Amino acid sequence: MDLTLHVWRQKNSKSDGHMEIVEAKDVSEHSSFLEMLDVVNENLLGQGKEPIAFDHDCREGICGACSLVINGEPHGPEYGTTTCQLHMRSFKSGQHVYIEPWRARALPVLKDLIVDRTSFDRIQQAGGFVSSNTGSPQDANALPIPKPDADKAFDAAVCIGCGACAAACKNASPMLFVAAKVSQLAILPQGKPERERRVLAMVDQMKKEGFGNCTNQYECEAACPKEISVEHIARMNREYFRAAILEEPEKQGHGGD
Amino acid sequence: MALCDRIIGNGVGAKAVVAITGLMLTGFVMAHLSGNLLVFAGPEAFNKYAAGLKSLGGILWVARLGLLGIFILHLGLAIRLNLENKAARPQKYVNEATMEATFASRYMVQTGLLLFAFIIYHLAHYTFRVASDDVNAVPAEDVYGMVIAGFSNPIVSGFYVLAMAALAMHLKHGVSSAFQSLGIYHPNLNVVTQKLGPIIAAIVFVGFASIPVSVLMGCIK
Ligand code: HEM
Ligand code: FES
């Protein structure tokens, strides 16, 4: 199939970007979206032009490195699928395909389609961990966890931190990401000791990074390649109110040292 | 104070305040509607109800000031949050898709601001009696007569119906959304909370709009 790509090209974080038309000829419908871009880049290199820069790593939907807003939808038109797992059979020959980077003040473009996602790292570092002294592993059954709790925590833990939620949100809010990280640990006994500190610090960091606020439009849930539910956002809201009242002010922020 | 900063100073906290004040305003709107529907019971019943409200005196003023405070909190925080949201995406998408967000949810600020304009006009129209000679010609005790006089003007009635459409849209998203903002989400409750917005919106629109429409059609005079 032949496609007309409209690709965001931007030299670096300082320069202004623009959309550029690139023709993709003879694309195999069996190739993935990133493989299609690989072929396009080979051709661009052959013509002495600069290839399109994009993020990727595992290419099997588990690392969270790939991104791309394809025709307005983060990770493209296929529900619950990362861009690396998106196949070209989802497109029709002759189609115009718009490819843009995640757009948020807190996710600035570094080059073309690559954005700086260290704001997500800083949110995670603010509280998305449990502190424990390591030693020999304890008996697996020493800490009983009800199956429904384990399942709920797992539903949140599948978050790969790709940033699609913030990219899809009309307000550039990464609430689904933050909520998944808070929720996953709030449900499990291992997360209890730092429960209040964690949610306050992570929500505070989200604000500091300059992300927007949730308005419950659920674009994030529709875009999430891991199909994480906005139920976790409600849980994070509950966790936040609880902690805002319970946590003594001076203790906040002593978490990770 | 830390608690104040965590609630007002933070998006998650401020959103909860918008939700609570929004639900309180919705409660007021529902009470206001049930009072207004007494126009269909005739001039005597309606004027008696209005006189009863006015005889509350001091309590009425406390309620009015409370309502004003709630209103200012709601509107002020909602606008601040919205400005933060706009600033969070300085560069728009060239090609933006909408997957899940409803029409009502995308125009909350616009419907809210229209409501603001409406409330100013509505107070000037019937409470302070400075907007319409037809209304002012009726003595202030005859609230029923004021309603008939005011709504006999099709342009005025049209604006009221338009404002009620905006209110219905605001509440369709707002009421259901408020539960999520407050962390109320449970499979057993969602069946109710997700329908509550649309149901209240429909009641509010049909209920309020029925009054100017009935006056215009001559069903009440
Ligand atoms: C000056 C007028 C008003 C303005 C500017 C305004 C603006 C807003 C905005 C921007 C939101 C947030 C929307 C979102 O997060 O998606 C909101 C939410 C809401 N508003 Fe208003 N509003 C106004 C008046 C009212 C009135 C009169 C009522 C009730 C009768 C009301 C009820 C609500 C409710 C229930 C919410 C939901 C809160 C939530 O989503 O958590 N608002 N309003
Ligand atoms: S490249 Fe790892 S998830 Fe897509």
The per-residue pLDDT for A142 is 87
What residue in A sits closest to B3 (Cα-Cα)? A244
- Binned at pLDDT 50, 70 and 90, residue A17 comes out as very high
How confident is the model over A110-127, as pLDDT tens digits? 999 999 999 999 999 999
Does residue B221 carry a pLDDT above 90?
no
Which stretches of chain B sit within 8 Å of chain A by CB?
A: 2-3, 6-7, 10-16, 81, 84-102, 105-106, 108, 173, 176-177, 180-185
The per-residue pLDDT for B22 is 98
Q: How far apart are CA A128 and CA A194, in angstroms?
A: 10
Joined tokens for residue B74: 């709601």
Does residue A202 carry a pLDDT above 60?
yes
The DSSP H or E segment spanning A33 is helix A33-46
Mean per-residue pLDDT for A193-198? 95
Does residue B41 carry a pLDDT above 50?
yes
- DSSP reduced 3-state for B127: helix
Mean per-residue pLDDT for B182-198? 96
B178 lines ligand 1 (CB under 6 A): yes
Q: How far is ligand 1, taken at its centre, from the CA of residue B78, in Å?
A: 7
B11 CB neighbours in chain A (<8 A) are 173, 203, 206-207, 212-214
The per-residue pLDDT for A257 is 45
Under a CB-based contact definition with an 8 Å cutoff, are residues B82 and B106 in contact? Answer: no
- Binned at pLDDT 50, 70 and 90, residue A254 comes out as low
The number of the ligand nearest the C-alpha atom of B172 reads: 1
Does residue A40 carry a pLDDT above 90?
yes
Q: How far apart are CA A171 and CA A167, in angstroms?
A: 9
HSE toward the beta carbon, residue B21, CA cutoff 13 A:
20
How confident is the model over A171-183, as pLDDT tens digits? 999 999 999 999 9
- Binned at pLDDT 50, 70 and 90, residue A250 comes out as low
Pairing, β A69-70 against β A96-100: antiparallel
Under a CB-based contact definition with an 8 Å cutoff, are residues A25 and A36 in contact? Answer: no
Residues of chain A with CATH 3.10.20.30: 3-111
Give the fold, CATH level 3, of A3-111: Ubiquitin-like (UB roll) (3.10.20)
The per-residue pLDDT for B182 is 98
How confident is the model over B122-134, as pLDDT tens digits? 999 999 999 999 9
Q: Give start and end residues of each alpha helix (H) in chain B.
A: 2-8, 11-36, 43-54, 58-87, 103-106, 108-122, 133-136, 143-151, 154-181, 187-216
- Binned at pLDDT 50, 70 and 90, residue A252 comes out as low
- Binned at pLDDT 50, 70 and 90, residue A253 comes out as low
For residue B147, which of B164, B132, B166, B162 has the smallest C-alpha distance? B132
Tell me what ipTM this predicted complex has: 0.93
Q: A109 — phi, psi (to 5°)?
A: -70, 130
Neighbouring CB atoms inside 10 A of A18's CB total 10
The per-residue pLDDT for B28 is 97
Joined tokens for residue B179: 């539960």
Partners of residue A69 on adjacent β-strands: A74, A100
Residues A212, A213, A216: CA angle, nearest 5 degrees = 130
Put residue B49 in one of left, alpha, beta given phi > 0 → left and psi -120 to 50 → alpha: alpha
- Binned at pLDDT 50, 70 and 90, residue A137 comes out as confident
How confident is the model over B48-78, as pLDDT tens digits? 999 999 999 899 999 999 999 999 999 999 9
Question: What are the angstrom distances between the C-alpha of B148 and each of A15, B139, B204?
Answer: 63, 13, 20
Q: pLDDT: is A134 or B81 the higher one?
A: B81
Which of B115, B116, B208 is the pocket-test mutation for ligand 1 (most atoms within 8 Å of CB)?
A: B115
Residues B179, B185, B186: CA angle, nearest 5 degrees = 140
The per-residue pLDDT for B11 is 95
Note whether A245 contacts B184, CB cutoff 8 Å: no
Q: How far apart are CA A100 and CA B89, in angstroms?
A: 14
For residue A70, which of A108, A105, A32 has the smallest C-alpha distance? A32
The percentage of chain B sitting over the pLDDT mark of 70, rounded to a whole number, equals 100
A118-256: which CATH architecture?
Answer: Orthogonal Bundle (1.10)
